[in-house]
Structure 1
Amino acid sequence: MGYGLAAVATVGVGLLYGAGSRMVARARRRAAARDDRGIAPVPSASILKPLHGAEPRLADNLATALDQRGYHAPAEMVCGVADAGDRALDALAGLKTDGPVALRTVIGGRPKGRNAKVGNLESIAAQASGEMLVLADSDMAVPPDYLASLASALAQPGVGAATCLYVGRGDAGFWSRLVAAGIDTHFLPSVELGLATGRANPCMGSTIALRAQTLEQIGGMAAFRDVLADDFEIGVAVRAAGLRVVVPDMVLVHGCADAHARQMLRQELRWNATVAGLDKAGYLGSVVLHPLPLALIGGLLGGGVFAWGVALAALLVRGRIALAACQLDPFGRKATVKLQLLALVPLRDLLSFTTFLGALAVRNVHWRGANMAITAPTSTLKD
């Protein structure tokens, strides 16, 4: 038993090494292509930002979307809240509005469906004027060529939508840094492996850029009112329309705001349970991507030196992935931040394995103050 688990962990180490290599290659391609991009014609653009409550560094994150240098077409950022008392509006007050991207605010009514974010987006999209619509989470910080990169991706033949990978940034203390470490060292390599093998068809709330006519073709935001994984389902609908969803080399930054352990665990269980609900077989198979805990269990069950050696190799390959994630950060990272991330790797690996197992028992998720049931395979929300 111990040797068997160590052997499975060895496979995981090899896969993660390959994922780390893809991350390094992505960073190099991004650096080489950043100043070599041209598209014609350039579409007018609307960045749609659904806001909900006060978030750490919300104003800073939104400001990066307004700072789109060299985008030679009309562009706007349309922020939406459900009611005029939402504290997210405070973050908009100090934003500069004299830059290349105009800023508008939409205050909508009560959402028509169970997914409050989609209801917000539905109100925002109705007011957007751009030919290219960019659905983007409020906690994303983006580089200055964000719109240009997305427009370039959409200009490729047969492309219906573009989505973006992201690294993590802890904005609310230790627990948020632990969440960010999970994004850097678990989320990123798993998506890279999925892209390499063809098993992943990502379409992520970090950013979904698509033409206004494409959104209309797939039924508008109203078609996704009652699904939990609205971003995933948008990707499914785009592909069903005969178009591709692409992932450009550009990487964004996700500001993690989990200030408490309970908040962190709720969110990570929701993320994992959503993935498990969409693809149970793939989710179970991904256990191989947890080589450290598998090797440690193998060592305790008699795997001997072999198992302990695999555990060490697992730590080293995860550290390599952490450094690759630092290289992908479009804003760069201080040496102290890199060291903090490396120090969190062992704890992060064990926590990820725990939430991986825990999500298999989850039937309800806590999301934006509400408890909702997941019904596979469509992740439909039910009260």
Structure 2
Amino acid sequence: MGYGLELIFAALAAAGCIYWVAAAFLVARYGQGRAVAAGDTPLTILKPLHGAEPGLAANLASFLDQDYGGPVQIVFGVQDPLDPAIAVVEDIVRTHPDHDIALVVDSRRYGSNPKVSNLVNMMSAAKADILVLADSDIRVEPDYLSQVVAALGRPGVGAVTCAYRSAPFEGPWSGLSGLAVDSHFLPGVVVGMACGLAEPCFGATIALRRKVLERIGGFQAFADILADDYAIGDAVRRLGLDVAVTPFVVTHMSNDATFGEMMSHEMRWAKTVAGLNRIGFAGTGLTHPVPLAILALLLGGSWHAGLLLVAALACRSLLLLSVARRFRLLQAPFWLLPLRDCLSFYVYLASFFPSGVSWRGSHFLVEADGTMAARRESE
């Protein structure tokens, strides 16, 4: 029995090694080119906020310091009148007096997803036809808006989104969290798009025209959905329009301060992905060759399993090197890969068991169809 299990885990680990080598090749070819694109169409940036997370001021300022030729309005939104993010926004207003900035403080809720409720409230202040939604932990380059608007202007495009790399803020947990993005999430996106298996739409950026948003039911249509970003992209595609993925990536600022915060964040993300496609998510077990090789070694103890573990570590290092070169990562902590991979494998396995998720201080139950419901105190 033990020998049979060793062979199964060894075969899965070997398949994972092949996957990571292919991913390293595809990542190296992923486009980072930025075409010259001048834009002057008025647009509104929507920034839903919750709390004064580390680096928030710099994140938000990067969306204002843009080389864009047209009028740019930015709308910040919070639901709690005591939210510390308000003070950050007030400082930005003082340091950017020539910018069109609005702050919406509105506690009204329309469903279980607090971010979507925030967006619904913020729309009352939005002026422009082009809407650019981006999460609060995203930081961008000065040509970001020009590139996004140029992509949105292509024939047949209904929305634009961006993949993202990480930039750990500080501390070991934010570093481990960022490593999951760079060594697992981002290569998976690249492989999925290259193979035609992924149709992404990320909260890191969703740009679309107001009339398209109205045709998919407005933000209210997604008020009870955990994966609101994916659902928006899916709704746009069902109109017969494309969701364009830019050839460049934006930067996600990983700011998990504790082990608990990191695991809660990753569990929510895993349950989100699993809820979108359980069969496909189950297949991503192959993307964990290091823990699979460790299990094969523990079960059999053969030198073949030991050699496979060395090969798995080499393939993971090759992939991270490819990501670091292509996406200009400042640090590539190769020595953390074994720990990172074991933690990711644990999250993968745990996501199959029923439980709630925590999101910005609130706790929710996630139904099989991806809808959310607030967890009762007794639960």
TM-score band by shorter chain is over 0.9
Q: Shift of residue 86 of structure 1?
A: 0.9
Q: Shift of residue 125 of structure 1?
A: 2.1
Partner of 2:157: 159
Which amino acid letter does the alignment assign opposite residue 87 of structure 1? P
1:327 is aligned to 2:325: yes
1:22 is aligned to 2:20: no
- Among all aligned residue pairs of Structure 1 and Structure 2, give the percentage whose two residues are the same amino acid: 41
Q: Shift of residue 303 of structure 1?
A: 6.8
Partner of 1:204: 202
Partner of 1:10: 14
User: What pairs with 1:289-328 in structure 2 (closer than 5 Å)?
Assistant: 289-302=287-300, 304-328=302-326
1:361 is aligned to 2:353: yes
Query: 1:265 and 1:236 mapped to 2: Cα distance?
Result: 28
- Aligned mate of 1:128, from 126, 129, 132: 126
Q: Shift of residue 58 of structure 1?
A: 0.3
Q: Shift of residue 183 of structure 1?
A: 0.5
8 Å Cα contact 1:135-1:205 kept in structure 2: yes
**TM-aligned CA distance change 1:131 to 1:262, over 3 Å:** same
User: What pairs with 1:99-110 in structure 2 (closer than 5 Å)?
Assistant: 102-110=100-108
Q: Shift of residue 199 of structure 1?
A: 1.9
- Aligned mate of 1:94, from 67, 91, 94: 91
Query: 1:67 and 1:290 mapped to 2: Cα distance?
Result: 40
Deviations 1:268-294 (A, max 9, x none): 111111111221111111100101111
User: What pairs with 1:1-383 in structure 2 (closer than 5 Å)?
Assistant: 1=4, 2-26=6-30, 29-30=31-32, 33-34=33-34, 36-38=35-37, 42-69=40-67, 71-95=68-92, 96-98=95-97, 102-302=100-300, 304-329=302-327, 332-334=328-330, 337-338=331-332, 341-383=333-375
Deviations 1:178-232 (A, max 9, x none): 1111011111111112112222111111111111111111011111111111111
Residue 372 of structure 1 aligns to a residue whose secondary structure is: strand
8 Å Cα contact 1:49-1:80 kept in structure 2: yes
Query: 2:107 and 2:353 mapped to 1: Cα distance?
Result: 35
Deviations 1:234-282 (A, max 9, x none): 1111111111112111111111221111111111111111111221111
8 Å Cα contact 2:49-2:78 kept in structure 1: yes
Which amino acid letter does the alignment assign opposite residue 373 of structure 2? L
Q: Shift of residue 25 of structure 1?
A: 1.7
- Greater shift, 174-183 or 256-265, is seen at 256-265
Q: Shift of residue 166 of structure 1?
A: 0.8
Residue 167 of structure 2 aligns to a residue whose secondary structure is: strand
Stretches of structure 1 lacking an aligned partner (at least 5 in a row): none
> TM-score, normalization: structure 1?
0.91
8 Å Cα contact 1:6-1:307 kept in structure 2: yes
Deviations 1:103-157 (A, max 9, x none): 2211123222211110111111221112211111000011111111111211222
8 Å Cα contact 2:270-2:348 kept in structure 1: yes
Residue 352 of structure 2 aligns to a residue whose secondary structure is: helix
Query: 2:56 and 2:116 mapped to 1: Cα distance?
Result: 19
**TM-aligned CA distance change 1:328 to 1:98, over 3 Å:** farther
Query: 2:334 and 2:97 mapped to 1: Cα distance?
Result: 40
Q: Shift of residue 73 of structure 1?
A: 1.1
8 Å Cα contact 1:273-1:362 kept in structure 2: no
Which amino acid letter does the alignment assign opposite residue 77 of structure 1? I
8 Å Cα contact 2:102-2:125 kept in structure 1: no
Residue 73 of structure 2 aligns to a residue whose secondary structure is: strand
Tell me how many residue pairs correspond in the alignment.
Answer: 369
8 Å Cα contact 2:272-2:370 kept in structure 1: no
Q: Shift of residue 66 of structure 1?
A: 0.8
Q: Shift of residue 98 of structure 1?
A: 4.7
Query: 1:357 and 1:289 mapped to 2: Cα distance?
Result: 13
